[in-house]
Structure formats: C-alpha cells, structure tokens
C-alpha cells in the first residue's frame, strides 16, 4: 500500500476537546457577529450591499481549475538522464503526484494550517470568527483565519491585497471549489502550489532545497519544519535562522500531538532528529552553461519564452555529460598552455558530432562561460581557410571527371576577378608543379584548389556546400575554394560528419527529445537520415582526408586509429582549425580572437590545433572500439531524368 493511499484511507481524525470546542463555539457566535458587522461596515463604505453582491457575481469560475496548469520548472538533461540545470521564472516548481508526497508532510501542514480541513465545507466559521475578533480588537487585518481551500483560491484566483472584501470572496470561492473537486485534490494541489521560500513553489522543490531529498521521503521532523515555514518562509527558513525554524517545528509537532495525530514518542524523536540541510537551488547555474544556453535559446524559438520557463518541460539533450566534461577540461588546459606561449586573448571552440546520427555529443563555446556567454560554436562566423577545400574536391569527384589520383597543376595562374586580377598563392609562396589531387589536399596546396574550383564551377561548389548544411552567406568569388566565407564551427563539423557517413545526413541537433511533465512528447528529433551526397564521391573525400592526416598537414592528429581530417589556416593567421573524423565521432576545433586580430605569426591548424584535437579524441575514444572507414561496397549513380515532350 502506498503512503498516499494510507493517508487518504486513514484521514486524520478530529478529536473532541470539550474545552476547546466550547471556546470554538463562542468564537462561532461572537466572531460571526463581529464578522457580520465588519462586512456591513465595509459594504456601506464601498457604496452599498448591492455593490458587494455585484462584485461577488463577477468572481472567477472555479471550474477552470480542472484545466489549471501551474507554472513549473523545465529541466535539461544529458542523453543518459543526468541533470544539467532547471530553468524557470519566479516559480521554481516541480509538480508531483499525491503518492510522491509524504503523509508526514500532509498531516503536519493540516495540523498547523487547517486541522478541521476534512470537516468543513471550505470555510471554518470558528476560525473566521476568531480572526474577526482579533482584527476587530486590533482595528486592522491582523489574522486571516483562512482554510487551506481559501488559501488555494486566493493564490489561484485573487490578488494578494489584504481586505475584508477579499476575505468574503475567498470564502465564496472556497465553498464553490469544494463542490467541484475533492478534498484530497484540493490538498494535493495546495501542496504543489504553496510558496515555501527561496523561490521554491510546491513541496518537491522545497524538499530538494531544504533537505536534499524528495517530498516522498520526508521524515516527521523534516515535515514539521517545512510546515512551519508556510506563514513566513524566508523569516523561518533554516538557512536564515535555524533557531526560529526549530521553534516553528516544535509548534507544529505540539499541535499534532494535541490532535493525537502522533504519539509522544514520535514527537520526541522528531524534536531530537538532527536536521541535515541541502542547499538553495533556485537560479543555480548550469553545470554546462554553453550547452544549456544553446538548448534554451532553441526551445524559446520553437515554443516561446513562457512555455520554456513555466511549462515544466523535460529536455533530453544529445550531449554526453562525460564527453562534455572532457571537452571543457581540454579547452581549459590548452587555453592556459597557449597563454603561456604568448597567445593572449585566444578563444577556443569545440564541437563533437556523431556522424551516424548528427547528434551533438559535446559543445564548448569558449574558454570561460562566466566571462562571456557568447557561443562561438553556434554564433561565431569565422573563415574556415583551407578547411573548406574538401567541399571543392567533393564537387569535383561528384561530377565524375576527377578521382583522387587525377593530376592537377600547382603552377602560377591569374584570373580576372571583378575589375582586378587574382593570382592565388600557396602558404609557403612556392609552386610544386604537377601532383595528384590526393597530394594537393594532403599538403593543403592553394593553387590546385582554386584551379579545380574554376574547372567544376564555383556555383556548383556553393550548391554542394548548401547540401552539406552550410547556410552562411556565400558569394561566387574565385577565392571561395580557399575559404573566403564565414561559417560557424557547428556548420562545418556537421558537413564533415556527413562526409564521414558517406553522404547520409540528418539535421544536426542538440536536442533529442522534449516532453511535458506528464510525459507527452512535444519534440522528437529521432534521426531520419537521408542520402544527400554521392556515396562514391563522399568515400573519395574521406580517403584523401585520411592521407592528409597520415602524410599531410594533419599529422598532429594521428591517434592510432583511422582518422580523416583537414587543417584550416587563414592567410591572416587569425582563424586556425582542425576538423577530423573517426567513424563514430567528428570533432571540429577552432582557435581565434574575438577581435579578429592575428593570433601569432606562423600559427597554423596543423601546428596548433591538431594537438588539442588529439588530446580530446584520445580521451573521448578511450573505451570506443577502433573502426575503419567502411565505404559502401556498391555505388550507384542516379541516372539523369529525361523529360518526355508532351504529346
């Protein structure tokens, strides 16, 4: 039998105390009289009883409560369910089912807030009478006398302004509410709705904050301390004043003992229990801010700001927390190393993607998320330099006239470019003559890439780049094959991952699945790969990029398993890259400065980025089996479509 069922089947019995009941009846009579006088005086002051009647006719329809959805915290997790962060507005709340709330807490709250809850119709005349007597003697509103039902309708339907007319509205709505839903529903809704301090709304987030446990597992001592917070949560908070919190706890336990809801032994044990506090969790930063911020921004674009901060979403990201931790530690380590080498103000971005799914497994948008939340993986547009060349070579291979062994000439050439002349140069300012395409890419020769771009057509290169997911602006300029565009690291990593999967592609994503708090699916990004590239041409690109690692500019990325990759260095040496793949993971790393100034004379992707890539991948692939790239055994090229002339 669950704890909730036990509580619901054995509701607290309301004992009979003659002396208490005697004064309660006195309160009913005297207080009721005083309440009537105050109501009359208040109505006359407002205009007339007619005005009061009209205002009560305009009260909210409590039947709306059946469709009520409280503001609830959304949670972001890694691919395996590890929590990254909870995101919310003012209300940090996680709604839980009745059987996930300890019966200890239910009894403690009833004892101190509304011990006649199961015996009144929504209002407790004796409680109201006592409050009216106190307020009349004080000359102002000092005590509410509200039942739990009245507190709930106040929180859901009314303003917080303290006035006699509002108390009347509370009473009317409370009676109506108890005709619409059951007592147990009211209590459970109240416990999930009420404010417990430190931006915690509802029992679950409060229990997690105060005692680092779920509401279902609260002891009697912890429950009594939490129940004692309701009247003034921040004042009685054990984080603020443990002595006051203990006094409130004692008050609740004594009330429970007086009502005979607990025994003397249970009372004493609860008083003597050592309270172990948790920590204030509202507005806590994410364990992985770059990931959480990128996910949050995407969710807001899809669902809207309020839905994300108040909708209680459960967001499963594609990120692996272990890989993310390795990535962040690697970037931190190498940033420090580069600073020691004189590269001040350097920024590093890393993104790792599974080529089989296009799921982002790790993302680091900069060297310090606290100093700058700007995400260089998803937001920074930087020139890829020679890392763009594989797009040119793919276009050539896909056209059917070139293979990795086709000879190209690394010789001087000049092209008209708008109203000027453009003469491409190699990084070392030399020319090496005739060579196979494989060698040209491996050694990252510029002139052959430009010549090949002209041979296949720059517009064809742009078309292939779009197919690979490059959405950034591109102009059909002669220097495009050398990376004369600006892309994000995420774009280029996704494109290389498509090569590694031999042309199969799903949209890259950080989000695997989103549900609401009840498990209803709101977004499902299960991969639905499509073959977007020529498989033979993709295999050829992967093949020559393996040569670039074993015998070319990417030799620093050798890790004892097959790697296909390419370095990138801009002519001004302000953007340097390495993007490399194994069959199970593609990782792109970029280094540059936010002010777009030169990193250092002689800085290259092969010399400076490959060691970082190698460091990350060796850790990330520690327990991953070594696999070779396995191109499809059979390639079929689509036949051209011949349009028949209409008869």
In a domain, 313, yes or no: no
With a CB cutoff of 8 Å and minimum separation 6, the contacts of 80 are 320, 321
In this structure, are 260 and 182 located in the same domain?
Answer: yes
Q: What is the CATH number of the domain that holds 216?
A: 1.10.3810.10
On whether the CB atoms of residues 57 and 172 are closer than 8 A, the answer is no
pLDDT at 51: 46
Catalytic residue flag (residue 214): no
Task: Name which of 402, 360, 394, 354 is nearest 377 in CA terms.
Answer: 360
In this structure, are 95 and 197 located in the same domain?
Answer: yes
In a domain, 63, yes or no: no
Distance (Å, whole) CA 613 – CA 627? 18
pLDDT at 61: 77
For the chain, how many structural domains are there in total? 2
Element containing residue 527 per DSSP (H, E): none
Answer left, alpha or beta for residue 418, where phi above 0 means left and psi between -120 and 50 means alpha: left
Give the model confidence (pLDDT) of 565-586 as tens digits. Answer: 999 999 889 999 999 999 999 9
Q: What is the CATH number of the domain that holds 389?
A: 3.40.710.10
pLDDT at 21: 46
DSSP string, 417-478: ETTEEE----TTS---EEEEHHHHHHTT-HHHHHHHHHHH-HHHHHHHHHHTT--S-----T
Residue, of 35 and 178, whose pLDDT is higher? 178
In this structure, are 540 and 402 located in the same domain?
Answer: yes
317: β partners: 511
pLDDT band at 561 (very low <50, low <70, confident <90, very high): very high
pLDDT score of 437 more than 90: yes
pLDDT score of 320 more than 70: yes
In this structure, are 256 and 371 located in the same domain?
Answer: no
Average pLDDT of the segment spanning 88-104: 94
Answer left, alpha or beta for residue 457, where phi above 0 means left and psi between -120 and 50 means alpha: left
Residue, of 19 and 144, whose pLDDT is higher? 144
In this structure, are 227 and 365 located in the same domain?
Answer: no
pLDDT score of 40 more than 80: no
pLDDT band at 443 (very low <50, low <70, confident <90, very high): very high
pLDDT at 631: 82
pLDDT at 7: 54
pLDDT band at 457 (very low <50, low <70, confident <90, very high): very high
Give the model confidence (pLDDT) of 160-214 as tens digits. Answer: 655 556 678 888 888 888 998 999 999 999 999 999 999 999 999 999 999 999 9
In this structure, are 555 and 436 located in the same domain?
Answer: yes
In this structure, are 258 and 351 located in the same domain?
Answer: no
> Where is the domain boundary, 272, 294, 312?
272
Instruction: Give the pairing type, strands 74-77 and 83-87.
Output: antiparallel
Residue, of 128 and 37, whose pLDDT is higher? 128
In a domain, 441, yes or no: yes
pLDDT band at 37 (very low <50, low <70, confident <90, very high): very low
In this structure, are 248 and 334 located in the same domain?
Answer: no
Half-sphere exposure of 97 (CA within 13 A, CB side): 7
Catalytic residue among 4, 74, 386, 538: 386
Write phi, then psi, for 419 (nearest 5 degrees). -100, 15
Average pLDDT of the segment spanning 264-293: 94
In this structure, are 392 and 478 located in the same domain?
Answer: yes
In this structure, are 246 and 349 located in the same domain?
Answer: no
pLDDT score of 20 more than 60: no
pLDDT band at 56 (very low <50, low <70, confident <90, very high): low
pLDDT at 45: 42
pLDDT band at 641 (very low <50, low <70, confident <90, very high): very low
Distance (Å, whole) CA 538 – CA 494? 14
Rounded to an integer, what is the distance from CA 415 to the centroid of its chain?
50
pLDDT at 635: 44
Among 175-189, 217-231, 608-622, which is the least confidently predicted range?
Answer: 175-189
In this structure, are 232 and 360 located in the same domain?
Answer: no
In a domain, 187, yes or no: yes
Average pLDDT of the segment spanning 447-452: 98
pLDDT at 145: 67
In a domain, 69, yes or no: no
**Entry pTM:** 0.84
Catalytic residue among 4, 8, 102, 113: 113
In a domain, 405, yes or no: yes
Task: Name which of 319, 387, 380, 321 is nearest 352 in CA terms.
Answer: 319
pLDDT band at 10 (very low <50, low <70, confident <90, very high): low
In a domain, 519, yes or no: no
| Domain range enclosing 226 | 3-7+20-58+90-272
Q: Where are the alpha helices (DSSP H) in 457-534?
A: 458-467, 489-500
Intra-chain end-to-end CA distance of the chain, in Å:
78
- Residue count of the chain: 647
Give the model confidence (pLDDT) of 390-413 as tens digits. Answer: 999 999 999 999 999 999 999 999
Instruction: Give the pairing type, strands 195-197 and 200-201.
Output: antiparallel
Give the model confidence (pLDDT) of 227-261 as tens digits. Answer: 999 999 999 999 999 999 999 999 999 999 999 99
pLDDT band at 477 (very low <50, low <70, confident <90, very high): very high
In this structure, are 256 and 360 located in the same domain?
Answer: no
In a domain, 285, yes or no: no
With a CB cutoff of 8 Å and minimum separation 6, the contacts of 217 are 102, 207
Catalytic residue flag (residue 298): no
């Amino acid at each position: 039998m669950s704890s909730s069922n036990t509580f619901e089947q054995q509701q607290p019995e309301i004992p009979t105390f003659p002396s208490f009941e005697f004064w309660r009846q006195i309160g009913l009579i005297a207080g009721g009289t005083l309440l009537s006088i105050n109501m009359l005086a208040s109505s006359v002051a407002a205009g007339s009883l007619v005005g009061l009647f009209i205002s009560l006719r305009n009260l909210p329809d409590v039947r709306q409560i059946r469709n009520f959805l409280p503001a609830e915290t959304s949670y972001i997790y890694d691919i395996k369910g590890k929590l990254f962060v909870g995101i919310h507005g003012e209300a940090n709340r996680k709604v839980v089912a009745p059987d996930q709330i300890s019966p200890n807490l239910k009894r403690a709250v009833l004892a101190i807030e509304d011990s006649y809850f199961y015996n009144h119709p929504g209002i407790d005349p004796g409680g109201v009478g006592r409050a009216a007597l106190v307020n009349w003697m004080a000359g102002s509103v000092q005590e509410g006398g509200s039942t739990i039902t009245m507190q709930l309708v106040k929180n859901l339907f009314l303003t917080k302004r303290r006035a006699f007319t509002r108390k009347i509205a509370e009473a009317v709505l409370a009676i109506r509410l108890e005709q619409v839903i059951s007592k147990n529903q009211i209590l459970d809704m109240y416990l999930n709705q009420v404010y417990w301090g430190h931006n915690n709304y509802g029992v679950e987030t409060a229990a997690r904050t105060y005692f680092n446990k779920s509401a279902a597992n609260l002891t009697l001592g912890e429950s009594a301390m939490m129940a004692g917070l309701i009247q003034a949560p921040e004042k009685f908070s054990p984080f603020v004043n443990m002595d006051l919190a203990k006094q409130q706890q004692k008050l609740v336990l004594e009330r429970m003992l007086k009502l005979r809801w607990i025994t003397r032994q249970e009372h004493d044990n609860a008083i003597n229990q050592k309270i172990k506090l948790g920590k204030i969790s509202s507005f806590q930063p994410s364990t992985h801010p770059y990931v959480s911020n990128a996910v949050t921004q995407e969710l807001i674009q899809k669902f809207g700001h309020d839905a994300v901060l108040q909708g209680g979403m459960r967001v499963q990201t594609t990120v692996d927390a272990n890989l993310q931790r390795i990535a962040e530690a690697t970037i931190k380590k190498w940033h420090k190393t580069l600073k020691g080498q004189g590269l001040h103000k350097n920024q590093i971005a890393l993104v790792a993607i599974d080529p089989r799914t296009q799921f982002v497994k790790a993302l680091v948008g900069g060297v310090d998320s606290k100093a700058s939340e700007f995400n260089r993986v998803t937001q920074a547009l930087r020139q890829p330099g020679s890392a763009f060349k594989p797009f040119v070579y793919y276009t050539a291979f896909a056209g059917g006239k070139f293979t990795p062994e086709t000879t190209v000439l690394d010789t001087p050439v000049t092209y008209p470019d708008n109203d000027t002349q453009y003469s491409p140069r190699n990084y070392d300012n030399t020319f090496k003559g005739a060579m196979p395409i494989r060698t040209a890419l491996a050694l990252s020769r510029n002139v052959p890439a430009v010549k090949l771009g002209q041979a296949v057509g720059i517009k064809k290169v742009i078309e292939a780049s779009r197919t690979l997911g490059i959405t950034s602006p591109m102009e059909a300029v002669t220097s495009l094959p050398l990376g004369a565009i600006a892309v994000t690291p995420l774009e280029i990593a996704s494109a290389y991952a498509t090569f590694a999967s031999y042309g199969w592609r799903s949209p890259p994503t950080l989000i695997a699945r989103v549900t609401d708090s009840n498990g209803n699916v709101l977004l499902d990004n299960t991969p639905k790969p499509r073959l977007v590239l020529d498989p033979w041409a993709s295999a050829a690109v992967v093949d020559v990029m393996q040569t670039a690692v074993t015998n070319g500019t990417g030799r620093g990325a050798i890790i004892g398993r097959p790697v296909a990759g390419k370095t990138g260095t801009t002519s001004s040496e302000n953007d340097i890259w390495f993007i490399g793949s194994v069959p199970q993971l593609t990782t792109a790393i970029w280094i540059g400065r936010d002010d777009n100034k030169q990193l250092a004379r002689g800085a290259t992707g092969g010399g400076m980025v490959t060691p970082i890539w190698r460091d990350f991948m060796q850790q990330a692939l520690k327990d991953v089996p070594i696999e070779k790239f396995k191109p499809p055994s059979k390639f079929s090229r689509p036949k051209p479509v011949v349009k028949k002339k209409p008869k």
